[in-house]
Structure 1
Amino acid sequence: MKENKRTAILPVCTITEVCEPAEYRAMQQIIPKGPSVLSATTYFTKPVLAPDETRGFNYNLLPVVLDRNSIPWDIANIYILSRLQATAYPEMTTFAGIADDLGAYKEFLDEKPDIDFTDFPQNKLKRPTYRYNGYLKQKLFAGEVEPSTVKRRMSSVVAFYRWMIQEGILRPNNDPWQEREYLASFKTTEGFKMSKTVKSTDLAIKAPVKDVPHEGTILDGGRLRPLSQTEQIWVLEALNHLGNTELTLIHLVALLTGARIQTALTLRLSHVSRHYPVSAAKISITCGPGYGIDTKNDAVGVLQVPRQLYDLLQAYAKSTRAKKRRGKAPGGDNPNQYLFLTQQGTPYYQAKIERMQFNPNLRIRHQKKGQTVRQFITDHVIPYVQANHDPGFHYRFHDLRASFGMNETDRQLALVEQGKSKLSDARRHVQKLMWHASSATTDLYLDYRRQMEMVWAAVDGYETYIATLIEAAKTGGLGE
């Protein structure tokens, strides 16, 4: 087990139960003789099956909650297993987050031995849930923990207690929280007004959402910062200097199609194997479930790949370099192989459909989700640009998607100004290319250009004025 502060990850775990030697699927287990074991012990286990007996409970990358002595916290781990068994296709990163939250709670309990997490005295402020609530608020106000983390941790602990109460494991003498129901109204992405009943407790932590106006970002699946055209050139210059073919192509895919990282990194060889007429300016590649390419929220969408980029990807796929990498990869050189692989033949991002398949031989303790790409940006691309152009430069991979959206927005707005298109047509065009479910998200790009032009104009004037003052001070002309 690879240990960290609060959790460990088991690469492979199969849930079993003790059985008789003659039972179906019985497997012999041996506890060998050792310093603390006087004699070897033999027993038999069999896999636990779902009620319909069609599947067992086999997991890769199972998170285990630990106490401060690195001993598994039994009840928390039973809770996680219970939730896993109730989920047909669990996303282990979600459960790793739950485990980390409960590990944080266990850390709090271990630091305060006077707290019994099952004891709920009459004094509300002495109950473990309220004490933890106060502890989290202190962390929040001290700036030690992000608001989103505090809210999530409290929510995970409430869900943990709900489960214990529902299962009859815990019967608190007093309420762990006060609960109320209210009707929440919201709009769907299609614009329809909906409402649903929501349960809330007095443990819910209300934390202000950071929203800095005109900070140069767009809220599109996270705060994204579109790179200026000059910055885009800097990044490409850095990639050219660094000479990593795969990372250069991956950047180009994101910058020229708006693909998110999971989409760019799960492109397959088959997606760039077809030949198209020379007249085809753009190549459409359908993404989503059933098409072999991961997308956010399993949405089905179409990448519009510029012909020059498609030809470049096709040439790379046929190269000796790419073939060598596919030769090292599990499954070898086949049409369903990832287009982009590391030098060792491993994917930069493991597709969701593969993560759902149990691998009894797995040895790694983390999911491949683009970490190598992000690390390359941090360690190589950004330092190059900072050293050669702008010491304050920074970007994240997802900013390339915003840059594509902004480039396309600028192009469409230019057509509107020339009278060749209508603003409504421009909005629909960008919305379609970006796969925005709501036109409100697309409007953020249109508004961004208008706002940033205003902000940049003001900043440029102010910066010029400050520069003039500094220069004047240096030459002794400040008092003129």
Structure 2
Amino acid sequence: MANLETINYRPVREVIHNDKVTWVPDPLARSIDALPQIFWSSGEAWHEANHWALTKVTSTKGGHIKTVTSLMKHLVAYASWLEEAKLEWWHFPIRKQDRAVLRYRGDLIAQRDRGSLAPSTTRSRMAAVIQFYRHAKIYGFVQRHSPLWIDRSVVVRHFDAAGFERTFVTTSSDLSIPNLSRVGLRLEDGLTPIRNDDIKKLLELTKEQGPKEIHLMLLLGILSGARIQTITTLHIKNIENAYADVQTPNIYRIRVGPGTGVETKFDVSGEILVPKFLIDELKAYAYSMQRLRRQAIAEKVNRSFLFLTNRGNPYKSGTITRLMTDLRRLASNAGLRFMNSFKFHQTRATFGTWLMGVALKATSAKAAVSFVRDAMLHKDEKTTFLYVRFLEREPLKAEVSNQFSAIFSGLVGRDWNEYHA
């Protein structure tokens, strides 16, 4: 099975002196920390894919390391599939149905139809593979006349906030997989909030049976809307430096973003709102024996993190994924069926929905959107408006449900034939 690893890339250049070639650091090129690289199960690097990652990060467009890492995660899934299928990525037979990339597309669709892959993941995974092959063709890693796929130009129309229409042309492949996600209004990353009753059951479960760290992370997600990357990069100093809001003393503000040591999506700077009782609980945890034991075995550079694993390491995405899997299993055994498809990011959708509901009752829609946008560190206000639209539909959905039940509830348990007599 192929692996995705990260390296600290330090560019060098050759220097010839006395007919000898030596390599020295290149002062004109920038170093890159945590550059994602793919290795086959044999340990050999997938050089072409790794070249793609380096090229994207150092491109003139300034590819973000997190975006490139996400693409490489999709590509390593393709690499693992290639090894399992015993196929070569660079071989394109004349017969279309024999090509690895086409067979992989079919496997992705099958996984989507079985429900083992989300439609959005299926689409993104195929798109990453297509991007890589375009790179490979440009740099000559595959023969330029190889029959890859058929590209077509697509005209996209876009209306800006002022109502002016703009059009641009993009390229689409016949291998692209459409995102056949379910119909209905969704919030950030296509997720919906958790019901209040379900939140209570979940937190009661994690308080009694779950790891303390997961319980606190869930509380932070539900009560502040913080993303998991923000929560797992909090340091003790960030909690200690939290300060009370002038107008709402029971709400504390924690500075996050560049310069704070706390990661945010798109490197947005801002402050998350956290209830005082949770700040107090986080401070108590920070100096508890449970955490101090973890801190004692941690490397010096990691000791200041608020949340550490039992091995003294910061929580990474892979660790969180495994913990969420364990949590879903625990919840399922406890009869919490709503947890079968639970995603941590639903805590953020839950907080945003609640906060927008409170804000709309207290002030105008414009002021409410501005307040929620800042509290949730939204880069684009369009994301915040999703919560307004979501809440606007709730009364309508409730009324439809009530009316439907009132009209048709009498049919249950009665002979259907009498309604056709």
TM-score, scaled relative to structure 2: 0.75
Shift of 1:182: 5.3
Which entry has the higher C-alpha Rg, 1 or 2? Answer: 1
Corresponding residue SS for 1:370 = helix
Aligned amino acid, residue 287 of structure 2: K
- Between stretches 305-314 and 155-164, larger displacement belongs to 155-164
Question: For residues 154 and 264 of structure 1, what CA distance do their matches in structure 2 show?
Answer: 30
Question: For residues 160 and 278 of structure 1, what CA distance do their matches in structure 2 show?
Answer: 48
Shift of 1:401: 0.9
Q: Residues 195 and 240 (structure 1 numbering): CA distance in 2 closer, same or farther, change over 3 Å?
A: same
Q: Which residue is equivalent to 1:375?
A: 325
Question: For residues 281 and 339 of structure 2, what CA distance do their matches in structure 1 show?
Answer: 28
Q: How does 1:6-25 map to 2 (within 5 A)?
A: 7-9=2-4
Cα offsets for 1:356-383 (capped at 9, x unmatched): xxxxxxxxxxx64522441342132454
Question: For residues 152 and 57 of structure 1, what CA distance do their matches in structure 2 show?
Answer: 25
Question: For residues 275 and 160 of structure 1, what CA distance do their matches in structure 2 show?
Answer: 44
Q: Which residue is equivalent to 2:356?
A: 409
Higher helix share: 2
Identity %: 21
Question: Is residue 448 of structure 1 aligned with residue 390 of structure 2?
Answer: yes
Q: Which residue is equivalent to 1:198?
A: 170
Which of 175, 178, 181 is the matching residue for 1:207?
Answer: 178
Corresponding residue SS for 2:343 = coil
Question: For residues 176 and 372 of structure 1, what CA distance do their matches in structure 2 show?
Answer: 36
Q: Residues 472 and 240 (structure 1 numbering): CA distance in 2 closer, same or farther, change over 3 Å?
A: farther
Cα offsets for 1:34-88 (capped at 9, x unmatched): xxxxxxxxxxxx9x7776587889978742246xxx696x8xx221232244335
Question: For residues 161 and 97 of structure 1, what CA distance do their matches in structure 2 show?
Answer: 13
Question: For residues 270 and 262 of structure 1, what CA distance do their matches in structure 2 show?
Answer: 17
Shift of 1:346: 2.1
Aligned amino acid, residue 375 of structure 1: T
What are structure 1's unaligned runs of at least 5 residues?
27-45, 350-366, 416-420
Question: Is residue 426 of structure 1 aligned with residue 397 of structure 2?
Answer: no
What are structure 2's unaligned runs of at least 5 residues?
59-63
Shift of 1:296: 1.7
Shift of 1:406: 1.5
Shift of 1:243: 5.9
Cα offsets for 1:314-348 (capped at 9, x unmatched): 222222322222112111785xx111122332222
**Root-mean-square deviation (CA), in Å?**
4.5
Shift of 1:8: 3.5
Q: Residues 438 and 56 (structure 1 numbering): CA distance in 2 closer, same or farther, change over 3 Å?
A: closer
Give the conservation status (yes or no) of the 8 Å contact 1:118–1:172: no
Question: For residues 254 and 151 of structure 1, what CA distance do their matches in structure 2 show?
Answer: 28
Question: For residues 32 and 390 of structure 2, what CA distance do their matches in structure 1 show?
Answer: 48
Q: Which residue is equivalent to 1:418?
A: none
Give the conservation status (yes or no) of the 8 Å contact 2:152–2:171: yes
Give the conservation status (yes or no) of the 8 Å contact 1:272–1:317: no
Question: For residues 331 and 190 of structure 1, what CA distance do their matches in structure 2 show?
Answer: 52
TM-score, scaled relative to structure 1: 0.67
- Between stretches 89-98 and 136-145, larger displacement belongs to 136-145
Q: Which residue is equivalent to 2:219?
A: 252
- Between stretches 445-454 and 399-408, larger displacement belongs to 445-454
Q: Which residue is equivalent to 1:287?
A: 256
Question: Is residue 219 of structure 1 aligned with residue 187 of structure 2?
Answer: yes
Give the conservation status (yes or no) of the 8 Å contact 2:298–2:311: yes
Shift of 1:432: 2.0
Aligned amino acid, residue 117 of structure 1: H
